[in-house]
Structure 1
Amino acid sequence: MTKQIVSFFAGAGGLDLGFEQAGFHVAWANEYDKDIWATYEKNHPKTTLVTRSITNIDADEVPECDGIIGGPPCQSWSEAGAQRGIEDKRGQLFFDFIRILEAKKPKFFLAENVSGMQHARHADALNNIKKMFKDAGYDLYSQMMNAVDYGAAQDRKRVIFIGFRSDLNIKYTFPEPIEKEERKALKDILLDLDGNAVPALEKQKPNPDVKVLNHEYMIGGFSSMFMSRNRVRTWDEPSFTIQAGGRHAPIHPSAPRMEKVETDKFKFVEGHENKYRRLTVRECARIQGFPDNFEFVYSNVAAGYKMIGNAVAVPFAKALAVSILEHLHKAKVKQAA
């Protein structure tokens, strides 16, 4: 029988898609950002989407389920952000996630967040969150993981929390990383798209001349922050982390590596300036593991980059979902014996 799960902070549904690929059914999802609703509903037609903030959702509204998954907003924990952590209202959304978890008591949960959450300044808040998960009745397992070790073509470190209801007595072990030689590089997933990219129109509007869905890139200059380090990975390497801001999208691998001028200052190689373009929305989606028929709906390409950059890499999500399913199955067999 298919395991039913619910998803909070669903975004475009990268985490949800990975769980669906593993055999789960996402029956109900919650996403508050109105710029994402059309994309989620188009690509997850069998899921009921609730669009209010989690703070205004009563646990009674959430259907019975086998698991609850989600990635509470990461900006407040991000190394690139202000690192306000639990003091930020977005950081406090973790408490609402736990509130509903405690009320519904599903067999398991998975929560994902940025690696910055483990910064020393957040130690007390992190320990508090871990205690709350345990007090809610769950055996908690957490680990820093890199999506490149689980089939995604990018370096993307995230903290994963997985919990199983204590009465199930499940001793969880995280999935083993794939061998280094099996890791995907940019050539494995982007080469066939080469030559088809089109620039966004003025004011970052979508380009109707795209030959491939969402295969357009943000136009405009590059900030001094962007030029503070090399932003080019070669065809034989995995991508840098795909971020939520289009202006920070990595450069396409056909460009030569940027040249260092001085500390925190790089430049494009002279004579090759025309090769330095940002990765397209579709290229970023491929790097995150979204299939080509997954349509990102937006009126400004910046929204497409944001949805993709905030998502969980699909192959990574699937690997975690498969491991959870295996542990639930073992526990069921053990109980039946």
Structure 2
Amino acid sequence: MKKEIKFSFIDLFSGIGGFRMALDNNGGECLGFSEIDKDAIETYCRNSDEPIENNLGDIRKIKQLPKHNLLTAGVPCQSWSIAGRNLGFDDDRGQLWNDTIFLLHQSKPDAFIFENVKGLVDPRNKEALKYILERIKEAGYHANYYVLNSFDYGVPQNRVRIYIIGFKNKKFANKFVLPKPLQKKIKLASILSDFNEQLIDKKEEVYKDLFGEIVPQKTMSLSTSNGLNDYFLFNDLRNGHSTIHSWDILETTERQKSICYLLLKNRRKSAYGNLDGNPLSLKHFQSLDPSIKKNEIESLVDLGIFKKVNYSYSINGNLDLELTENEKVIINNCPGNILIVDDLKTNRELKLKKISLSKTIPLMIEKGMLVPIEVRYDFKNTKISTGLYGINRIFLPTSNIFPTLVASDTNDYVTTEVIRAKNQDEHKDLFINEVFKNKNYRRITKEEACLIQGFPSDFLLPENRARWMKLIGNSVSVPVIDALAKAIVETGVFDINSDLSSVKLKSNSVNTHENQLLGSARNVC
């Protein structure tokens, strides 16, 4: 049966087709897509039966778009994400917003949906978001932005994103109503291929029947059962009843454990530095507990729980050395001839000039320019997302959600073991002995990753894990776009359009006089 075409659309930064799938389901007809990643292009075309010739190519080279009703764009997010350097429009990739808004202004569709990471609405990016919204308004659109979590719209994933939605006609902008979150959420257990979801359909009742009423306890988890977290975090920098530390895994004495907790509880205090987490010197440890000896700290270094760090250096200005440009910048940002590494980590000039401290400082030491003057101790594993020993988090099947899928993959795992504990101590002990030690955990499969993003489990992706994880992690969640598309259609914005031509124009179309005029303004749009 031939579907009813309600509107036409152009799919910019199309990825593997998350927008495409949702819009097709709502009566949309794709007139062209724009993508430069080879794997993404092949995946998009295989799953949508779209001829590869309809790829408009690099957005920076598109001069004219086919006439269409709806423009979509998942603008690359690195400039605004926490994982990036947070440079916004100082990052070249941020300029892709200018190209997107230029094409919006040039093609004048009835409506648009732009998607980006939550970082764009963070206070540090306030001016950047304001700039984008102002340019959209200058392009002739009435727009608003919404911060939505994919979990609320039909996938078991904690994925918070910003969606900017706009209309050319204010009447339809006023009619747009944000879709309400689903009352019944899809849980993680429902997508695990080797688990019987019925076993935990009524998990609260199961716990209550086994142990009676359990008083919920304060928790920072996104998913809990009777006050007990539904996942375990492998991390030395955080603490909680479901946190597994390296000293829980390695054989350590109670004394060693107490020294580890001393560092954990004090490293975020401003008295020890300007960062969120700071190493402590032997003197710092002894100010907290005078009985601590240097050999006790060193024993934790030997175990691989602590590491030594050269916290500060004196700058030897007497040497007649030829400085590189990077070395000059570093020295100019060190008052009093003292270089404190952690102070330079937050220096904006070094970020803008992409100066690597880990590469430059060892070369300066080798030249004799820097002499260590203070040694401190920190946890060896200080990258939160990396976790410990290759594990970041292990999620129980009772969890409501799985964390945000990202292009680089994560060290997050799932287990199909259900833990029923009476208290927090038992909860942790059962996990360590029944799940961790027995290695009863695994990574999510390709089929599960598809379901977590709202794609069908048989969606065609490359076999290599790194390749399919990059594609699925960069995609939008299909059910969110589906709900937004329905809400846009319901405004009636496309009802007045009689011309839904499916003629597909190529990106090298001849410029009209209007395009020639717009081209000169592209860099400021």
* TM-score (normalizing by structure 1): 0.79
Task: Report 1 or 2 for greater relative contact order, CA contacts < 8 Å, sequence distance ≥ 6.
Answer: 2
Which has the greater radius of gyration?
A: 2
**Deviation, structure 1 residue 235:** 2.1
Q: What is residue 116 of structure 2 aligned with on the other side?
A: 113
Q: CA deviation at 1:168?
A: 4.8
Task: Say yes or no: does 1:238 pair with 2:401.
Answer: yes
Secondary structure of 2:476's counterpart equals coil
Cα 1:249–1:164 change in 2 (3 A) is farther
Q: Kindly report which structure 2 residues correspond to 1:9-158, keeping only aligned pairs within 5 A, or say none.
A: 9-46=13-50, 49-50=54-55, 52-59=57-64, 62-158=65-161
Report the identity percentage.
32
Q: Secondary structure of 1:232's partner?
A: strand
Quote how far apart the aligned CAs of 1:11 are.
0.5
Residues 10 and 71 in structure 1, CA contact (< 8 A), matched pair in contact too: yes
For residues 85 and 124 of structure 1, the distance between their equivalents in structure 2, rounded to whole angstroms, comes to 9
Deviation of 1:165 after TM superposition, in Å, equals 0.2
Q: 2 CA distance for matches of 1:311 and 1:131?
A: 26
Mapped to 2, the partners of 1:85 and 1:329 lie a distance apart of 33
Tell me the CA shift for residue 169 of structure 1: 4.5
Q: Distance in 1 between matches of 2:415 and 2:90?
A: 39
Q: CA contact under 8 A between 2:451 and 2:457: conserved in structure 1?
A: yes
CA 1:256–1:192 in structure 2 vs 1: closer, same or farther (change >3 Å)? closer
2:490 maps to 1:326: yes
What's the RMSD between the two structures over aligned residues?
2.5
Aligned match of 1:166: 169
Question: For residue 325 of structure 1, what is the amino acid of its counterpart?
Answer: V
Partner of 2:453: 288
Quote the Cα distance in structure 1 between the aligned partners of 2:445 and 2:54: 28
* Aligned position for 2:190: 188
Structure 2 distance, partners of 1:284, 1:250, is 12
Q: Please report how far the alpha carbon of residue 151 of structure 1 lies from its aligned counterpart in structure 2 after TM superposition.
A: 0.9
Is the Cα contact below 8 Å between 1:146 and 1:157 reproduced in 2? yes
Aligned residue pairs, count: 290
Residue 82 of structure 1: how far off its partner (Å)? 1.3
Q: Indicate if the aligned counterparts of 1:242 and 1:249 stay in contact, CA closer than 8 A.
A: no
Distance 1:134-1:316 versus aligned 2 partners, 3 A rule: same
User: What is the CA–CA distance in structure 2 between the aligned matches of 1:271 and 1:249, rounded to whole Å?
Assistant: 20
* Letter matched to residue 74 of structure 2: G
Deviation at 1:231, TM superposition (A): 1.8
Q: What's the offset of the Cα at 1:240?
A: 1.1
Partner SS for 1:245 = coil
Shift of the alpha carbon at 1:270?
A: 4.6
Amino acid of the structure 2 residue aligned with 1:242: L
- State how far apart, in whole Å, the 1-side matches of 2:86 and 2:141 are: 27
* Cα shift at 1:23: 2.0
For 1:193 and 1:100, the matched residues in 2 are separated by: 47
**Which 5+ residue runs of structure 2 have no aligned equivalent?**
197-380, 420-430, 498-525
Kept after mapping to 2: 8 A contact 1:114/1:159: yes
| Mapped pair 1:310 → 2:474 | yes
Structure 1: which amino acid aligns with 2:473?
G
Aligned to 1:278: 443
In 1, Cα distance between the equivalents of 2:405 and 2:66?
33
| TM-score normalised by length of structure 2 | 0.52
Which stretches of structure 1, 4 residues or longer, exceed 6 Å deviation after superposition? none
Does residue 226 in structure 1 map to residue 228 in structure 2?
Answer: no
